[in-house]
Amino acid sequence: MTLDFILSHMNYWLFIVLMMTGFYIVVSRGNYVKKIVGLNIFQVSVFMFYISVGKVTGGTAPIYPIDLKVDPDVLYSNPLPHVLILTAIVVGVATTALGLALIVRIREEYGTIEEEDILEIEREMQREENAEHGSAMGGRA
């Protein structure tokens, strides 16, 4: 691995570090709101990764002059990743809104938004159900 290779790929690795931080928050934290925050960090890092794919050194934003007289010497960055990520950002905020609405309902029904507590409540419900219905089959759920 030459220094040149490292420098020209470092950007990607940096974004991967960010992505994995976000991903780790999602899978390791038990607070439902924090999970959503982690998911957002994960996604935003993926978006940054995408955008860095489209960057051209010395390029500029892909917007032509208003009279559409394109100067052939000007380098423009790749517009396609921008379009994809615009769509992905919107999808991301839609998911966030829905996830948060679910959290509000969960809080109203369970009285908590901590995974551990909720699992405990659900285990309790399961035990009650088994006690009520279970004798017939003798199995466990």
Partner 1 sequence: MDVLINLILFIMMVTTAFAILRMRRLFAVVMLFGVFSLLSALLFVTLDAVDVAFTEAAVGAGISTVLLLGTMALTSREEKMPRKFSPIPLLVVVVTGAVLVYGTLDMPNFGSADSPAQTHVAAEYLKRTPKDTGVPNVVTAILASYRGYDTFGEVVVVFTAAIGVLMLIGGFARRRDPQEEAD
Partner 2 sequence: MAAPSAQTALTLVDQLPILTVLVPLLSAPVCIILGNRSMAWLLAFAASVASFLSATHLLLQVIDGDVITYAVGGWAPPLGIEYRIDAANAFVLFLISGISTIVLPYAKKSVEHEVRQVSHTLFYCCYLLCFAGLLGVVATADAFNVFVFLEISSLSTYVLIAMGAERDKRALTAAYDYLIMGTIGATFFVIGIGFLYMATGTLNLADLAVRISDMADNRTIQAGLAFIVVGMGLKAAIYPMHLWLPSAYTYAPSVVTTFLAATATKAAVYVILRFLFSVYQPGFIFETHTLEFVIIPLALVAMFAASIIAVFQQDLKKLLAYSSVAQIGYMMLGIGFANASGLTAAIIHLFNHGITKGALFMVVGAYVMRAGGSFCDRLNGIGRQMPVTSAAFVIGGLSLIGVPGTAGFVSKWVLMQAAFEKGWWWMAILIVASSLLAVIYVWKIVELLYLQKPEQEAEAKEAPASMLVPMWLLAICCIWFGFNTEITIGSAQVAAESLLGGSR
Partner 3 sequence: MRHHLILRVITKLLVPPIVLFALYVQFHGDYSPGGGFQAGVILAAGLILFGIVYGLRKVKQVLPPWLVHKLVAIGVLIYGGTGVISLLLGKAFLDYSVLASYPKDGQHYGIIAVEIGVGVTVAAVMVAIYYAFAGRTPRISDEDW
Give contact residues for partner 3 (rule: CB under 8 A): 61, 63, 66, 86, 90, 97, 100-101, 104, 107
Instruction: Classify residue 106 by burial, with Cβ atoms within 10 Å: 0-12, 13-18, 19+.
Output: middle
Write out the binding residues for partner 2, residues 66-85 only, by CB under 8 A. Answer: 80-81, 84
Write out the binding residues for partner 1, residues 80-119 only, by CB under 8 A. Answer: 80-87, 89-98, 100-105, 107-114, 116-117
Rounded-to-integer distance, Cα 60 and Cα 75, Å: 6
> Which one of partner 3, partner 1, partner 2, none is in contact with 9 (Cβ closer than 5 to 8 A by kind)?
partner 1
What's the distance, CA 53 to chain centroid? 18
- Which residue's entry shows tokens 């390791």? 28
> Which one of partner 2, partner 3, partner 1, none is in contact with 35 (Cβ closer than 5 to 8 A by kind)?
partner 2
What's the distance, CA 38 to chain centroid? 7
- Which residue's entry shows tokens 């940054």? 48
Contacts of 134 (CB under 8 A, 6+ apart): 140, 141
From 3, 63, 137, 141, residue interacting with partner 1 (rule: CB under 8 A): 63
Q: What is the nearest approach in angstroms of partner 2 to the Cβ of residue 56?
A: 13
From 53, 75, 86, 89, residue interacting with partner 2 (rule: CB under 8 A): 53
Residue 109 or residue 133: which is nearer to partner 1 going by CB?
Answer: 109
